[in-house]
Amino acid sequence: MCGIAGIIHRDGAARIGDELTAMLNSMKHRGPDSTGYAIYGPADEMVIVRFVLAEPNDFTGFGMDEKLERNRAEVESRLAKIGAEVATIQNETGYAFRATIRYGGDLKPLADYLEDIPGCKVLSLGSSLEIIKDLGDAATVLEQYSLAGLTGTHAIGHVRMATESDVDLASAHPYWAYPFADVAVVHNGQLTNYHSWRRRLERMGHRFQSECDSEIIAVYLAQQLEDGLPLETAMKHSQDDFDGVYTYLVATGSELGIAKDEMAAKPLVLMETENLVAMASEEIAIRALVGTEVETRDPFEREVLTWQV
Amino acid sequence: MNTKSGVVYDARGLVEPDPEPPMTAVIDGDTAVIDATDLTTRKINLELKRIVYDEGVNDVTIVNPGSKHSLGVGILKRCRITFEGSPGWYACGLIDGPEVQINGRVGWALGENMMSGSIVVEGPAGSLTGAALRGGDIVVKGNVGARTGIDQKGGTIITLGKAGINTGFMMQRGRQIICGDANDGLGDSMYDGFIYVGGRIASLGVDCVPAEMDESDHEFINRKFEIHDLGTPPELQKFECGKVLHNYDALEPSERKLVL
């Protein structure tokens, strides 16, 4: 059991960090192990890189501070070598970093080059997407990463109850569609044909950062977007291709979508008004956002919905 | 509540960490109002039980339920409970007797294992509505989600809107009346009972077959619509178990009782 949530502000950026935290915190009972956010701000000409240089569980290891310092210097060196001009680098937790860079090249060599540094994982790359995820509940992550007051137009988030893999950052959602800019997915459920799709995508040249089935949804959809398909079509294809039970949310720089499996085995409640769209595994999360009685509905089985931001 | 060695146990013998009801309800004769805004699920239910059992109030209104889960469960007494707003999941499970009115929507598994009484929902209800329902009536004026009436063992579920996939899955007894459309797998693997559908049926589940409506069906449906003031029922098609997968008529009554 995990909890997922999403918000779209149709009337411009809002304090989406606080809002998504309230939604995710209300679903803490669905998963206290890790919490993650994919927040979309206004598109920037800079590329935003969110990366970590260690797992939180490794951080207390002997000589870790020196190792992190060396690896951070290596990140800056490699960025320079590949032709990226670093504007800012902020260290948020000791092991998690946010960098803004000027870079006009292909993102895959950049991501591959950084991930080649021991312990380095690129959480997200893009002009508006920022993925922030860590162990613990939403209030913990909010404080750790100073998300209060963070603004954005849309966002998706996830609270995780670890059932099939470790409690670590690699298994925490959201998943970025490596190496496609600005595509992220959160997912509640299990894909039963994960291994065959992973091998298929790997044969196409994709690499994966985790052993989690949810990551292939992100890469699968991003590849179809890259091939020129509309998001809604790509999501409908995913319903034909993926077996199992799932409800997932996908976001890009300009769109947000939901898809449910044909058995409607995983919950989702949706609220849509003129200026605000909100969705979550449970209505209690929507109530945490809006506070009052609102009209909501449960999307039906095999339903796919997308919204332009 | 029992106290043994300083630990408080509830009626089932389970430890009750905080057994004190909040005492916040406003009682006026035979009616009471509980404002659930700042109360947890446990406190709301403790207050509801205090009002109904200890104070003997028969008409309780819960305002601002805030979609909290498991509200109004396990009330085993005839009374009237009104929710002004939307409860969350597992609302009014295991009740035996209350008449419940929900002026809002409701989450998954409404009235699970309900034994008698009625629940009327003015809006939609989530998946698993009336799961393992044993008796009483559930009326949903909006749509219901997937697997409504899964493992239903008795009682009646009336849906004025549409029903999701696998509605009536493994239904064992009782009736469902769906005025709108029914999605795929209607009545899949049902053992017994009847399902009536007014709208389009995407597909029937395994061993769910059409049946002829007779006078007793019309009498039953009209009576239920009249009781709940639902107007005139639409034209309905009837479905039942084809008795290919499960045929309990071949069992002795004692075996049948054991299975059901």
Task: Identify the pLDDT of residue B10.
Answer: 65
Give the per-residue pLDDT at B246.
Answer: 74
The string of pLDDT tens digits covering residues A257-293 is 999 999 999 999 999 999 999 999 999 999 999 988 8
How many whole angstroms separate alpha carbon A138 and alpha carbon A150?
14
Of B66, B89, B164, the CB nearest to A264: B164
pLDDT band for position B209 (50/70/90)?
very high
ipTM of the complex: 0.85
Question: Residue A59: is its pLDDT beyond 80?
Answer: no
Model confidence at A201: pLDDT above 90: yes
Q: Report domain extents, chain A.
A: 3-43+128-308, 44-127
- At B256 the pLDDT is 65
> Stretch A121-145: mean pLDDT, rounded?
95
**What band does A1 get if pLDDT is binned at 50, 70 and 90?**
confident
User: What would the mean pLDDT of A169-192 be, rounded to a whole number?
Assistant: 95
Residue B239 is predicted with a pLDDT of 98
Q: Which one of B39, B40, B62, B67 makes the best mutation probe of the A interface by having the most chain A beta carbons within 10 Å?
A: B67
pLDDT band per the 50, 70, 90 thresholds, residue A58: confident
Residue B184 near chain A (CB below 8 Å): yes
pLDDT band at B5 (very low <50, low <70, confident <90, very high): low
Q: Do B165 and A296 touch (CB under 8 A)?
A: no
- Cβ–Cβ below 8 Å for B143 and A297: yes
Average pLDDT over residues B233-257: 80
Q: For residue B65, is the peptide bond before it cis, meaning its omega torsion is within 30 degrees of 0?
A: no
How far off is chain A from B38, nearest CA to CA, in Å?
12
Residue B6's pLDDT is: 66
| pLDDT-based confidence at residue A164 (cuts at 50, 70, 90) | confident
Residue A163 has a pLDDT of 81
Which is higher by pLDDT, A150 or B260? A150
- B104 to chain A, closest Cα gap in Å: 8
Contact A287/B184, CB-based, under 8 Å?
no
pLDDT class for B255, splitting at 50, 70, 90?
low
Q: Where are the alpha helices (DSSP H) in chain B?
A: 41-49, 215-227, 253-259
- Residue A60 is predicted with a pLDDT of 67
Q: Is pLDDT at A8 greater than 60 in this prediction?
A: yes
A84-103 pLDDT tens trace: 999 999 998 889 999 999 99
Regarding the domain with residue range A3-43+128-308, which homologous superfamily does it belong to in the CATH classification? Aminohydrolase, N-terminal nucleophile (Ntn) domain (3.60.20.10)
Residues 64-103 of B with CB under 8 A from A: 66-69, 85-86, 88-89
| Smallest CA–CA distance from A266 into chain B, residue | B127
Of residues A264, A284, A300, nearest to B67 (C-beta): A284
Q: What H or E segment, with its residue span, contains residue B103?
A: strand B96-103
Q: Residues of A with CB below 8 A from B166's CB?
A: 263
Please give the Cα distance from A12 to A16 (Å, whole number): 11
Q: Is the CB of residue B34 less than 8 Å from the CB of residue B59?
A: no
**B104 in contact with A, Cβ within 8 Å:** yes
Q: Catalytic annotation on A120?
A: no
The 10s digit of each residue's pLDDT in B13-36 is 667 778 899 999 999 999 999 999
In this prediction, residue A296 carries a pLDDT of 93
- The Cα A258–Cα A264 span in angstroms is 12
Under a CB-based contact definition with an 8 Å cutoff, are residues A221 and A210 in contact?
A: no
CATH fold of A44-127 reads: Alpha-Beta Plaits (3.30.70)
* The predicted structure's pLDDT at residue B3: 52
Q: Look at A263 and B183 and tell me if their CB atoms are within 8 Å.
A: no
8 A C-beta contact, residue A49 and residue A72: no
pLDDT tens for A12-49 read 889 999 999 999 999 999 999 999 999 999 888 999 99
Average pLDDT over residues B51-63: 97
Q: To the nearest whole percent, how much of chain A has pLDDT over 90?
A: 86
Q: In a mutagenesis test of the B interface, which of A260, A262, A301 is the best target, namely the one with the most B β-carbons within 10 Å? A: A301
CA distance B55 to A59: 57
Taking all residues of chain B, what is their mean pLDDT, rounded to a whole number?
A: 93
SS3 label, residue A162 = coil
Confidence grade of residue B259 (pLDDT, cut at 50, 70, 90):
low
pLDDT band at B252; cut points 50, 70, 90: low
